[in-house]
């Protein structure tokens, strides 16, 4: 009897593992298919036509002329530079500012921290609106400037709540007390004790913020009116909306070949927009799974 139960348990366990593996495999293929399709479209020869179906197999003679055109173009290079710098600088400053703010607010025993915590959380539910925000940005001299592309991402409230919960419930109080006894002040305590043991959380917040900044085109459309400050996502958006008009404008500005296939050029631009995230993610992946859960600890 006992052997039969163990055998049924093993069989059910194997069936469950197989079902999970099959589901994950199918789901991964569904997620990978659009990326693979766009990549094949970006290396298709111009002779194949803009509207012909793309084979799921790599072409025998791949064509990388679209990548060369984009990477050598002054407009695309400038847009890529703006996107990369704003993403890295904005994500770094966001993690630093959000982390220090969350750590301070997590110490509710300090006078005034509960009020600061309430002030931060209430902004999730109420805001002044876009027009007052625009007027504020204009009145303080940030309109049409580089910092306006970053400043709106420096203190995301959801990241703040996750980090606050982690600092309040997951960091051992004894560790902090020991550091204080050894003579550490608040700055040394945070940067030399708290940050090293919280790297999964900081890495996860950095990655999420970087993706958010990299994909942001709305800030430019509202607060910036200078072509030299347009990020790469704005270039992609304009290509997707009206590729022929944008290609004609590029041809006037920097001598592009306006006879290029718009569909293939759009796919190439999409792939280039994905590359930085693909490059960044492997370095943070080992922290990502742990960090997604570590900040959700509840007291």
Q: Extract the residue ranges of the chain whose pLDDT is less than 70.
A: 1-9, 46-55, 243-261, 284-299
Q: Could you tell me if residue 54 is inside a domain?
A: no
Residues 28 and 78 in one domain: no
Residues 32 and 115 in one domain: no
Question: What pLDDT score was predicted for residue 291?
Answer: 53
Question: What pLDDT score was predicted for residue 22?
Answer: 93
Find how far residue 51's CA is from the centre of its chain. Answer: 32
Residues 243 and 103 in one domain: yes
CATH of the domain at 123: 1.10.3720.10
**Can you tell me which residue has the tokens 């902004």?**
123
Question: What pLDDT score was predicted for residue 299?
Answer: 42
Q: How far apart are CA 281 and CA 199, in angstroms?
A: 15
Q: Could you tell me if residue 13 is inside a domain?
A: yes
Helix crossing, 232-241 with 74-106: angle to 10°? 120
Q: Could you tell me if residue 169 is inside a domain?
A: yes
Residues 167 and 223 in one domain: yes
Tell me if 29 sits within 8 A of 49, measured CB to CB: no
Residues 108 and 170 in one domain: yes
Question: What pLDDT score was predicted for residue 228?
Answer: 86
Residues 103 and 208 in one domain: yes
> pTM here?
0.76
Beta strands in the chain (DSSP E): none
Report the domain count for the chain.
2
Enclosing domain of residue 24: 2-42
Residues 144 and 16 in one domain: no
Residues 20 and 145 in one domain: no
CA neighbor of 195 nearest in space, from 88, 262, 102: 102
Question: What pLDDT score was predicted for residue 157?
Answer: 86
Q: Could you tell me if residue 53 is inside a domain?
A: no
Residues 141 and 12 in one domain: no
Q: Could you tell me if residue 133 is inside a domain?
A: yes
Question: What pLDDT score was predicted for residue 1?
Answer: 57
Question: What pLDDT score was predicted for residue 95?
Answer: 93
Q: Could you tell me if residue 51 is inside a domain?
A: no
């Amino acid at each position: 009897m006992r052997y039969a139960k163990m055998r049924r348990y093993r069989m059910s366990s194997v069936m469950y593992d197989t079902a999970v593996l099959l589901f994950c495999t199918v789901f991964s293929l569904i997620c990978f298919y659009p990326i693979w399709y766009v990549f094949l479209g970006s290396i298709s020869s111009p002779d194949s036509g803009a509207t012909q179906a793309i084979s799921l197999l790599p072409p025998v003679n791949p064509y990388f002329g679209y990548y060369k055109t984009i990477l050598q173009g002054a407009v695309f290079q400038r847009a890529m530079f703006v996107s990369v710098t704003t993403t890295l600088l904005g994500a770094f400053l966001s993690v630093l500012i959000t982390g220090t703010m969350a750590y301070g607010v997590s110490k509710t025993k300090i006078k005034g921290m509960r009020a600061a915590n309430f002030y931060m959380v209430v902004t999730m539910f109420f805001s002044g609106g876009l027009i007052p925000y625009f007027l504020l940005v204009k009145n303080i001299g940030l309109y049409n400037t580089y910092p306006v592309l970053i400043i709106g991402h420096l203190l995301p409230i959801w990241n703040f709540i996750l980090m606050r919960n982690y600092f309040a419930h997951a960091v051992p109080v004894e560790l902090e007390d020991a550091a204080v006894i050894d003579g550490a002040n608040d700055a040394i305590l945070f940067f030399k004790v708290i940050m090293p043991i919280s790297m999964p959380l900081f890495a996860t917040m950095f990655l999420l913020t970087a993706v958010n900044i990299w994909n942001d085109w709305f800030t430019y459309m509202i607060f910036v009116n200078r072509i030299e400050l347009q990020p790469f996502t704005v270039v992609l958006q304009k290509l997707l909306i009206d590729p022929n008009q944008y290609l004609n404008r590029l041809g006037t500005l920097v001598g592009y070949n306006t006879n290029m296939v718009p569909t293939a050029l759009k796919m190439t631009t999409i792939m280039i927009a994905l590359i930085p995230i693909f490059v960044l993610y492997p370095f943070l992946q080992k922290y990502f799974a742990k960090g997604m859960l570590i900040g959700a600890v509840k007291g």
